[in-house]
Amino acid sequence: MISQLIIYLIKENWRGSFSSWMTLLLELFSSSLGLIIYWYASKAFGPSIQEHLDFYQTDFFSFMVVGEIFLGIPIQVLTGLITSYKTIFREHIHEIFISRAISWNRYFISQIIADIWRPFLRMGFIVLVSMGLGLSFSLLSFLYALFLTSLALISFYGFALLALSLINISGRGQTLIFQTNALLGALSGAFFPVEILPSKLAVLMTTIIPHGILLTNVRKILAQTTAIPFPQQEFVHLALLGLAYAGSGYFLFQSSLIFLRKKGRLIL
């Protein structure tokens, strides 16, 4: 039963992440610190880039908070999956996975569902605090943006599988992946509009990089500058990209695992 599996993985993640309630409070505290930085950064630099933000009908503070909220969910999924994969290797659980022909896909998807509460908890907290600081959007737009984010999770899952393949082949790469992820987040418009980037790079970020496609379209939805009725071009774009990333990611992941088993390098 996959529901039972998810419950046990939630327990594993919760106990691993929050050994005490103090850890949870510290996480919320760190989110508050981030918001304070965004608030003062928006006061300092907002006026100089406001002309680029007019397209999204927002101010600089709301712009950064939206980036934090909607990119935070898939990035947490990606990093959570990499961390749990490393634990599986460190504890030699993967040997049992291989011998019993346990489905990696089933485990990874259960792990993603089991881990999703954490970015949602953070998002809820940030939204509540930010609304007090001037963030505003309609509930319907917010729900559509969340739906788009869920759809983007397929691409990020594929992205995570590509990252795990790199770890399998190189034996390392976790830090590189986290840094690449942070760079892609920044270049995808988490902290500044993609229009500031050279035009070719901006096009690349908003057509094949899931971070960029997600953020650009979430911003449009929240600003209500895009038609909301389903199905939308953006949804189809993300769904197709998701299939491409997840398909190629899973193929590469399985190939890299075979490579590891042939090399005898089952320790990461």
Partner 1 sequence: MAEQENAIICQDLTFHYHNRPIFSQFNLKIPFHKMNLIKGKNGIGKTTLLKLMASILLPPKGSVHYRGIVNPKINWLPSCGNALFPHLTGIENFTLFQHLTPHQCLTIDEIKTLLVNYPVMIETLNKSLPVQVNQCSDGMKQLIKIAIALSHNAHFYFWDEPFQNLSQELALELSLLMNTFFQEKTLVLTDHRHSGNNDYDEINLETLL
Report, in Å, the least distance between residue 72 CB and partner 1: 23
As a whole number of angstroms, the distance between CA 72 and CA 122 comes to 9
What sign does the dihedral 130-136-140-144 (CA atoms) show? negative
Of the two residues 37 and 258, which places its CB atom closer to partner 1 in the complex?
Answer: 258
Could you give the angle at the alpha carbon of 140 between the alpha carbons of 139 and 144, nearest 5°?
A: 115
79 CB-near residues (< 8 Å, 6+ apart): 178, 181
Torsion, CA 129, CA 132, CA 137, CA 143, rounded to 10: 30
Kindly tell me which of 100 and 200 has the beta carbon lying closer to partner 1.
100
CB of 8 to partner 1, least distance (A): 4
Instruction: Report the nearest approach of partner 1 to the CB of residue 178 (Å).
Output: 22
Mapped onto helix, strand or coil, the DSSP state of residue 132 is helix
Residue with tokens 């737009």: 141
| Nearer to partner 1 (CB atom), residue 43 or residue 261 | 261
Closer to partner 1 at the Cβ: 200 or 262?
262
Q: How far is the CB of 106 from partner 1 (least distance, A)?
A: 8
Closer to partner 1 at the Cβ: 43 or 90? 90
Q: How far is the CB of 259 from partner 1 (least distance, A)?
A: 9
DSSP characters over 46-109 = HHHHHHHHGGGT--HHHHHHHHHHHHHHHHHHHHHHHHHHHHHHHTTHHHHHHHTT--HHHHHH
Return the number of the residue (103 or 179) whose C-beta is nearest partner 1: 103
> Measured from the CB of residue 101, what is the shortest distance to partner 1 in angstroms?
6
Catalog residues that contact partner 1 under the rule CB under 8 A. Answer: 1-2, 4-5, 8-9, 11-12, 15-16, 87, 90-93, 95-103, 106-107, 258, 261-262, 264, 266
